[in-house]
A and B are shown apart, each in its own frame.
Chain A
Amino acid sequence: QQPVQSPQAVILREGEDAVINCSSSKALYSVHWYRQKHGEAPVFLMILLKGGEQKGHDKISASFNEKKQQSSLYLTASQLSYSGTYFCGTGSGGGADGLTFGKGTHLIIQP
Chain B
Amino acid sequence: DVKVTQSSRYLVKRTGEKVFLECVQDMDHENMFWYRQDPGLGLRLIYFSYDVKMKEKGDIPEGYSVSREKKERFSLILESASTNQTSMYLCASKRGTEAFFGQGTRLTVV
Contacts and interface: CB of A to CB of B under 8 A. Distances in A.
B11 interface: no
A96 B54 contact: yes
Contacts, number: 61
Contact of A41 (B56, B59, B101): B101
Contacts of B103: 40-41
Does more than half of chain B's interface fall in helix, strand or loop, or is it mixed?
A: strand
Contacts of A5: 42
- Chain B interface size band reads 20 to 34
B54 A100 contact: no
24 contacts: A2-B59, A5-B42, A30-B97, A34-B99, A40-B103, A41-B90, A41-B102, A41-B103, A41-B104, A44-B97, A44-B98, A44-B99, A96-B48, A96-B54, A97-B31, A99-B33, A99-B45, A99-B92, A100-B59, A101-B35, A101-B43, A101-B44, A103-B42, A104-B43
